Each structure stands twice: as structure tokens, then as C-alpha cells.
Amino acid sequence: MYGVNASDRHSCSWLVSQMQFMLLFSRQGKLRLQKWYVPLSDKEKKKITRELVQTVLARKPKMCSFLEWRDLKIVYKRYASLYFCCAIEDQDNELITLEIIHRYVELLDKYFGSVCELDIIFNFEKAYFILDEFLLGGEAQETSKKNVLKAIEQADLLQEVRRLCFLKAFRGQKHFAEQYS
């Protein structure tokens, strides 16, 4: 069985909508991001990824964005050269999942400015940070676009300030300190 064991799920199955994982991959099947919301071994993750990527890439353009795979529902959408692929449970709402994917793409777009696959490749850690501000445990935790981007901005700023302080200490440049004190 893939995903969370039926016995784990049984006790709280329909109480919480559960996205089990999200995968981003290119048209050649190269993984660009993988976020897992259920505990699985490395081997299982690799197997699922390989099979799912194959299945989704085999889909023709006119087909539905939803497909049934194992005991999960897969919701996927292609944006330019990247496939965004989410696995949800049987009782979950596929249409809202499409919206979640779209919201994530909007966030990336706003952050990177007309995002493209290269941005995600070279800044994968940022893509993760943005995803984690938006989704937590497989559910949308922050539905305000503004707030998500603000949070990322602040974190980035914190990083930058620290870096510059560090540089300043390292190079002993008073100039920097004055600018950022």
C-alpha cells in the first residue's frame, strides 16, 4: 500500500482533507521539487515518483486533470515546461486542489517575477520556502497571497541583513553597519 496505512487513516479519515504529496517535474521527467506530507521510506518515495511521473507524462493534452492512481486521486496541471502534481485522498475536492496549485504558481510568479523553470531549478530552496508558507501538513495554512509573500520577504530580509552584518564583521567595513543599523 502506498501512502499512509489504512489503519492510520481510519481513525481520522474524513475529518481532515489530506494532500499526501506534491511533485514538480519537467517534461523530461526530471524532478524539480518534492514535498511529502505522509511518512514514507526513501525507496517508496522513489518508486511512487517514478511511476507517477511516467503515468502523468503519458497523458494526452486533451485529457482530464484528474486521474485515479492506486487508492489516491492525482490532480495535475502543466504550466509551461513544469508539471505540478498533487496526490489527494478519495473524499477530497479535486477542483479546490487545482486552485491550490494555481495559487502556488501565482506566489512563485509574484516572487520571481514571471517565473520559469530555471528559477525553480536554481532557487529550489526558495520554492520550498514559499510552499511551506502556503501549505502546512498538506493543507492551506495561509490563504492571503499578500501575507505569504510578506512573510517570505521578511525572511529574505533577515537573511540579507545577517549576511551583510557578517560581511561587515568579516571585512571590517563601518560603511555597511551605518547603512543597516
Do residues 71 and 90 touch, judged by C-beta distance below 8 A?
A: yes
- Binder of another protein out of 63, 80, 136, 167 (CB under 8 A): 63
Number of Cβ atoms within 10 Å of the Cβ of 131: 18
CA distance 83 to 29: 9
Task: Decide if residue 95 touches another protein (CB under 8 A).
Answer: yes
Q: Is 114 left (phi over 0), alpha (psi -120 to 50) or beta?
A: left
Do residues 135 and 84 touch, judged by C-beta distance below 8 A?
A: no
Task: Decide if residue 67 touches another protein (CB under 8 A).
Answer: yes
- Binder of another protein out of 29, 51, 80, 93 (CB under 8 A): 93
Residue 64's alpha-carbon distances to 9, 60, 61, 75, 119, in angstroms, are: 28, 9, 8, 9, 28
Least distance in angstroms from the C-beta of 159 to another protein? 5
CA distance 15 to 22: 21
The size of the interface with another protein (CB under 8 A), counted in residues, is 54
Task: Decide if residue 178 touches another protein (CB under 8 A).
Answer: no
Do residues 150 and 110 touch, judged by C-beta distance below 8 A?
A: no
- Binder of another protein out of 99, 137, 177, 180 (CB under 8 A): 99
- Binder of another protein out of 52, 82, 86, 100 (CB under 8 A): 100
Number of Cβ atoms within 10 Å of the Cβ of 141: 12
Residues 134-163 that bind another protein (CB under 8 A): 140, 142-144, 146-147, 151, 155, 158-159, 162-163
Do residues 133 and 97 touch, judged by C-beta distance below 8 A?
A: no
Task: Decide if residue 54 touches another protein (CB under 8 A).
Answer: no
Task: Decide if residue 41 touches another protein (CB under 8 A).
Answer: yes
Task: Decide if residue 164 touches another protein (CB under 8 A).
Answer: no
Contact residues toward another protein (CB under 8 A) are: 1, 5-7, 10-11, 14-15, 17, 30-34, 41-42, 46, 62-68, 91, 93-96, 98-100, 102-103, 121-122, 124-125, 128-129, 132, 140, 142-144, 146-147, 151, 155, 158-159, 162-163, 166
